[in-house]
C-alpha cells in the first residue's frame, strides 16, 4: 500500500482527495499547512505528496524547498489558474508536476498513478547499468548519477529522466508533448510549460552557459534535442 500525503488549508479539498485516493487503495495522511506536511515527511514513509501552493504559516513553495532537503519523494502541486508564476517556481524548486484547481478527479488519479510508477521504478534497481556519455556529460543509469566534467550534478528525478531520454537518442527532436508522454508516462494536458521549465532548470545544471546551450538545444516550433554523439 502506498502512503500519500495530502496538504491543503481547505479542509473540503483534503476530504475530497482523501475519498478519491482511499478508493484507489492508498493510505492518506492529511495536513493543513506546510509545517504539518514536513512533520509527516520526517516521520512517515511517504511515497507521494499532493500539496497546495497558497497556505498559511508555510506556503507550498517554502515547503517544497524543505521537502527536497529531506526526500526525493514525488510532489504534485495543487494550484489555482491565476498562480502561473508560482507553478513555474514550484517546478524549479523541485516539484514534479501540478494540477490546476478545480481538478478533474480522473486526471488527478492518473497523475498520481503515473508519478508513483516512475518513483518506484527508479528506486527498484531494474536498470541496465549502462552509462551514457555526451561531451562532458556522463549519466550512470546504475547509480542514477550524472556528472559534468567529473563533477556530480544534483538533478531531480524528473530532470534525470528527461536528460536520459534525450541522451539515449542524440539528435532526435522531441516535442514537449512527446517528452511528457515518455517521461511522465501520462497523456499531456496542456503541459508544454511544465516541460519548458524542467528543460530550463536542467540547462542551468548541465550547461556551461545556459543562455548559449551546447548540449540541450531547442528546435523552434518542434521541440528539444540533445546535440552530440552518445558514447556507451
Which pLDDT score is estimated for 9? 94
Residue 230 contacts residue 170 (beta carbons within 8 Å):
yes
Homologous superfamily (CATH) of 3-122 is Response regulator (3.40.50.2300)
Domain boundaries, the chain: 3-122, 131-226
Which pLDDT score is estimated for 216? 93
Using CA atoms, how far apart are residues 118 and 138, in angstroms rounded to an integer? 22
71's CB contacts (< 8 A; 6+ apart) are 41, 46
Using CA atoms, how far apart are residues 167 and 134, in angstroms rounded to an integer? 7
CATH 3.30.365.10 applies to domain 131-226: no
How far does Cα 17 stand from its chain's mean position? 20
Residues of the chain falling short of pLDDT 50: 124-128
Using CA atoms, how far apart are residues 110 and 83, in angstroms rounded to an integer? 22
What does the pLDDT look like over 177-189, one tens digit per residue?
A: 999 988 887 776 6
Amino acid at each position: 500500500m502506498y502512503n500519500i500525503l495530502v496538504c491543503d488549508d481547505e479542509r473540503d479539498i483534503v476530504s475530497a482527495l482523501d475519498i478519491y485516493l482511499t478508493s484507489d487503495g492508498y493510505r492518506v495522511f492529511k495536513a493543513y499547512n506546510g509545517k504539518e506536511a514536513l512533520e509527516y515527511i520526517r516521520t512517515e514513509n511517504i511515497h507521494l505528496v499532493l500539496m497546495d501552493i497558497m497556505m498559511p504559516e508555510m506556503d507550498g513553495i517554502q515547503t517544497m524547498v524543505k521537502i527536497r532537503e529531506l526526500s526525493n519523494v514525488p510532489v504534485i502541486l495543487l494550484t489555482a489558474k491565476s498562480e502561473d508564476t508560482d507553478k513555474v517556481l514550484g517546478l524549479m524548486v523541485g516539484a514534479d508536476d501540478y494540477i490546476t484547481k478545480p481538478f478533474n478527479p480522473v486526471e488527478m488519479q492518473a497523475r498520481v498513478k503515473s508519478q508513483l510508477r516512475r518513483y518506484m521504478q527508479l528506486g527498484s534497481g531494474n536498470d541496465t547499468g549502462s552509462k551514457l556519455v555526451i561531451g562532458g556529460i556522463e549519466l550512470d543509469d546504475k547509480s542514477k548519477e550524472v556528472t559534468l566534467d567529473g563533477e556530480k550534478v544534483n538533478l531531480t528525478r524528473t530532470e534525470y529522466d528527461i536528460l536520459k531520454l534525450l541522451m539515449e537518442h542524440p539528435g532526435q527532436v522531441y516535442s514537449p508533448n512527446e517528452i511528457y508522454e515518455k517521461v511522465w508516462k501520462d497523456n499531456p494536458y496542456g503541459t508544454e510549460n511544465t516541460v519548458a521549465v524542467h528543460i530550463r532548470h536542467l540547462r542551468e545544471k548541465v550547461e556551461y552557459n545556459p543562455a548559449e546551450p551546447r548540449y540541450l538545444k531547442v528546435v523552434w516550433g518542434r521541440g528539444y534535442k540533445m546535440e552530440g554523439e552518445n558514447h556507451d
